[in-house]
Each structure stands twice: as structure tokens, then as C-alpha cells.
């Protein structure tokens, strides 16, 4: 997996989080599959089409916090992730 400080694309734009669909008990095989990039300041009450229930691992960038909910439209239990 990339480190929190590594979440910068080649053009230098900051990324707050990356979510991945594939995970593994072996660390070198984690953070694989499809990638969902979360830019700074994003406020998304619904997961993009095809992503609901698919995220298996994530990395949150420095100076960012990712809050997720167990139900759509920011309902249910929430959990916060940071670097």
C-alpha cells in the first residue's frame, strides 16, 4: 500500500484518500484492484455506482480524515479514518 505521504499523483494534485477493492493477508498484495480516489473537500453521501460494499482496504493522506457510514445518505453508524 502507498504511505499516507505518497498520495500525490504525478501532476502534484493532493489526494485525501484512496479506496481499493482487493485485499490480501499478505501486505505486499494489499491495496490492489479498482481504485477510488477521494479528493480534498469531498462530501459524497452515496458511493459511486458499483462501489457499495466493495471496499476492502484504504489509505488516508496526511492532514485528511475520511468518514464513512454503514448506510446510504450518511445514515447508520459512522467511522473515521486518518493517516
Give pLDDT, residue 5.
84
Residue 66 placed within a domain: yes
pLDDT tens readout for residues 10-44: 677 788 999 998 877 777 778 888 999 999 999 98
Domain with 45 in it: 17-77
Task: Give the chain's domain count.
Answer: 1
- Residue 67: how many other CB atoms lie within 10 Å: 11
Q: Is residue 9 included in any domain, yes or no?
A: no
60: in domain: yes
Residue 8 and residue 79: Cα distance in Å, rounded?
A: 24
Residue 8 lies in a domain: no
This prediction's pTM: 0.81
Amino acid at each position: 500500500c502507498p504511505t499516507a505521504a505518497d498520495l500525490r499523483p504525478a501532476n502534484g494534485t493532493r489526494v485525501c484518500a484512496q479506496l481499493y477493492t482487493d485485499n490480501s493477508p499478505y501486505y505486499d498484495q494489499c491495496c490492489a484492484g479498482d481504485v477510488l480516489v477521494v479528493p480534498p473537500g469531498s462530501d459524497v453521501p452515496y458511493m459511486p455506482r458499483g462501489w457499495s460494499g466493495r471496499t476492502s482496504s484504504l489509505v488516508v493522506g496526511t492532514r485528511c480524515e475520511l468518514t464513512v457510514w454503514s448506510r446510504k445518505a450518511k445514515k447508520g453508524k459512522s467511522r473515521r479514518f486518518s493517516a
